[in-house]
Structure 1
Amino acid sequence: MKAISYRRYGGPEVLEFGERPDPKVGPDDVLVRVRAAAVNPVDWKCQAGYLDRALDAVFPVVPGWDVSGVVVQPGVSVPEFDVGDEVMGYVREDVLCHGTFAEYVAAPVRTLARKPRALGFEEAAALPLVGLTAYQALRRTLRVRAGETVLVHAAGGGVGAMAVQIARHLGARVIGAVREGGADGVRELGAEPVEYGDGFARRVRALAPQRVDAVLDTVGGEVLRTSPNLLAPEGRLASVADGDVVTLGGAYMFVRPDAADLAALADLVDEGALTVRVARAYPLEEAARAQRAAMAGGLGGKVVVTVGGTA
C-alpha cells in the first residue's frame, strides 16, 4: 500500500511517501480503507521525539491517529461492523508504528465508531481526537453541569472549538478566550469571546463577577497560570496541554480511545449540536505540506490529508 512514513525523528522533512506492507488484521481489528486522516499537533510532537519516554517508536513509523474510511474486513471477533460500513476513529495504539496516513489501517475495534451521516469523510476525520479530548475533559474530568459558567482557553482552536459546542450542549454558559481577531468565530459557536492581552483577567471577571465554575486549558504555560484566580471557590481546573496544572490544584487529562464516546460525538453531529471545520485538505503524498500548514496555525479549522482522490 501507499503510505507516509518516517525513519528517524525530525520535522516535516523526514516524511516519505512510498510503499509499505499491507497491515495484518488481528482478531479485534477492523481493516479500514482510509479516505481521510487529520493532522494534529501530537503527530509532529511524536515525530520530533517529544513523546519518546511514553511511546516506543518502531521505525519506520506511519504517522496519524485520526481517520475516516470504509470497512474492508472486520476481524474474526468483531461483530460490530460489516464490510462497507463508513467509520471514523482515534486509532492510537501503545507504540508508534502503524498510523493512519496510509491507504489502509488495521484499527482496533475499540477505537472506531460509525461516521456521522451529516459529515463527509474529510470532516469526519477531523473530529475524533479533538472531539474526544473536549468531550472527556468536560464530562469526566471537569464534570460540567447545566447552569455553570465555563472558561475555555484557545476557544478557536481544534479542541477549544469542540469544547465550546459540547459545553453549550451540556447547558453551560461559555466564555471563550481568543487571540486578536478570533472573536467572531467563537461567538458563532455560542461562546462569549474575551481576547487575550493586557486586562484579560479583568475582562473575564466583568463577564463573570462571581468567577467561573470550570476552566479548560488547551494552551499551557502562562495562560494556564492565569486560570486559578478566575475560578470560584469550588471551581475546577483541567488542562489537556500542561502537566503543571497539578501543582495549581487542577487535573491533567490525556485523551484515550473510547468507542462509546466517539459514537456520542457522532450523535451530537447528526443532531446539529456539533460542527466540524476543515480549513485545508491535501493529497496523501503532500503530507509534509499539510503538516507545515497545520504547524503554522491560524487557519480557522483542521488540516486533513485525503487518500484515493477527494474524500
Structure 2
Amino acid sequence: MTDKKIDDTTGVETTGHTWDGIEELNNPLPRWWLWTFYATIIWGVGYTIAYPAWPMISGATSGLLGFSTRAEVASDIAAHEAENADLVVALNEADLAVLAPGDDLHRYASARGASVFRAQCSQCHGSGAAGAVGYPNLLDDDWLWGGDITAIEATIRHGIRNETDPDARWSQMPAYDGIFETAEIDAVVEYVVSLSDPEHDAALAAEGSILFADNCAACHGENAEGNTDMGAPNLGDAIWLYGRDRDTLEYTVRNARFGVMPAWGQRLSDEDVRAVAVYVHSLGGGE
C-alpha cells in the first residue's frame, strides 16, 4: 500500500489505493446520504418486526401488527358476497328461461357469468367464445346438445363424456376403420361433402348416401341434420367442429371423435353455473 498523498489534479487526498497507476480519491459519502441509509436499515428492521416478513417452514412470521393480505382479500370477498346475497338467492330461484334481458338480475348474472367464463372457460372456447378446432363456437346457432338456456345449463353443469358425473352428456361415434373398407369410407366422405359443397363426385356420393342411411342416419338423421339428444352434429351446414375438408372428414369417419368437457357443477357453485349459462346464452348464439 502506498502512502496517502494529495492528488495534483483535484487537490483531494487519496486513500493510498492504486490500480494500474490510477489512485483512489478519498471522497466520503455526504452525511445526509449516510444517515438516510442508516434510517432505511432501521425502518427495514422495524418493518420485518411489525409485518409478515420472514419465511418459515409452513408459513411466515405474522408480525406484531397481525396484518394479512389474505385476510383483507377474504374480508373484501365476504363484504362483496354480503352485498349481492339477495341477487344470488334470486338467481338460484329464478326460472332462467323467462329471465328477461335488461332486468337487474339478468345484468348481474351476465356480468358474473362473464367473469367466470373468462377464468374457467376461455382456455378452450376462447376469450370471445368463438371456439377453435375441436372446441365449439358459442356465438353461432349450431348447438350439438341444444342451445336453449336450459340445455346450456345442463351441459355446463354435467359436462360431456366425462367419467366424473353420472349425468354427463354422453354419445360415442363408432370408428369405422375396420367396419368400412377404404372405398366405402371415401364414398361416405363424398356424400357428406355433397351436402354442403356443389363440387363433388355425384356418383361416389350416391354410393355413400346408401352407406350413410344404413349406418349413420340413426344418429345424424335421415337428412343429416343432426340430433341434439345425441350430440350428433348437423352435417349439412357450413359449421364444422373439426373441419370439412376431405382429409379431415376421412379421419373423423375412420377414427371417430370423442371430445370431453368437465362437469363444472362439481367445481363451481350453483349460482356460478347458472350465471355462466345466462352469459353464454346472451352472446347471441343460443336458441
Is the TM value for this pair above 0.5?
no
Q: Which has the higher helix share?
A: 2
